[in-house]
Amino acid sequence: MVNTNVTLCGESLSNPIIPASGTFGYGREFSELYDLDILGTFSFKGTTLLPRFGNPTPRIAECPDGMLNSVGLQNPGVEKVLSEEIPNIRKIFRKKVMANVGGFSIEEYAAVVKKLSDVPEIGWFEVNISCPNVHSGGMSFGTDPRLAAEVTRAVKAETDKPVIMKLSPNVTDITAIAAACEKAGADGLSLINTLMGLRVNLRTKKPVLHNIKGGFSGPAIKPVALRMVYEVYETVGIPIVGMGGVQSAEDVVEFMLCGATAVGVGAQNLVDPYASKRIIEDLPRVMKKYNIQSLNEIIGGAHHG
């Protein structure tokens, strides 16, 4: 019998599969399709201090082997999450959930984490530092090691729960950002977030998205994600949640060999709402195929072969 258990920042998971934030909402729709307790955990929709309607449409564009999105952190705000979404999660998911947090200032990140910190259903905070810093002309917190460290320290001061910093791939050297977060006290790292991309409508001769640029996700970004997970694993000593283009159990094993402890499934949930369930159910078969008895034994294995 193979062992799919892993431990993420001190919390045990029955398997490493985590539906990624922004692709799974707060679990409501997916709970109508299958029992969410099959999941390792899931990362709920990026939550900000105040409600956000998001960006103007069009904000989604299909691409070969992926998609562009410029949704703009649409969410009901932290108070509504506390009053409505958390009670519902309590009904549909008996494990700890991962709370994804967004913000447009360091103070906002800290305030959201503080409000959610005492929620017993939350096991980890995943802090999305790809948000634009309104005090720095819109530059992402995740593109500057100093800013990334400041956000990390601010949220760590508001909670005793593990803090996982979600890194942007739109940087020259992601290892510098990763190291800065670790030094500032991060308990783990999630990578990668979406790559910036653009599509043009040939009929209108204008960009497809209202915001011109959007985040590119899907199977096409997997080699980039694997490379960044591999590099960050060699740089830090804290757990990594790897993600980017995951479609299969084989992809999960590949990410873990590169250094991921757990693996996020993102855009594939939008293509196939049963994707995460299917991957989990197929994982034992793939482990047997490649003579893997325990997933814990393969984390970072590609660095030693």
Of 55, 97, 51, give the one whose Cα is nearest residue 77. Answer: 51
Task: Indicate which residue of 9, 63, 131, 258 is catalytic.
Answer: 131
Under 8 Å between Cβ of 216 and 63: yes
Under 8 Å between Cβ of 265 and 271: no
* Rounded (10°) CA dihedral 200, 223, 9, 86: 30
Identify each DSSP E strand in the chain by its residue range: 6-8, 11-13, 17-19, 60-63, 66-69, 97-101, 122-128, 163-166, 188-191, 195-198, 200-201, 206-207, 213-217, 240-243, 262-265
Q: How far apart, in whole angstroms, are the C-alpha atoms of residue 11 and residue 102?
A: 23
Q: Which long-range contacts (CB under 8 A, 24 or more apart) does 255-258 make?
A: 255/225, 255/226, 255/229, 256/16, 256/295, 256/298, 256/299, 256/301, 257/298, 257/299, 257/300, 257/301, 257/302, 258/226, 258/229, 258/230, 258/233, 258/300, 258/302
Under 8 Å between Cβ of 59 and 71: yes
Q: Can 258 be counted among the known catalytic residues?
A: no
Catalytic residues: 131
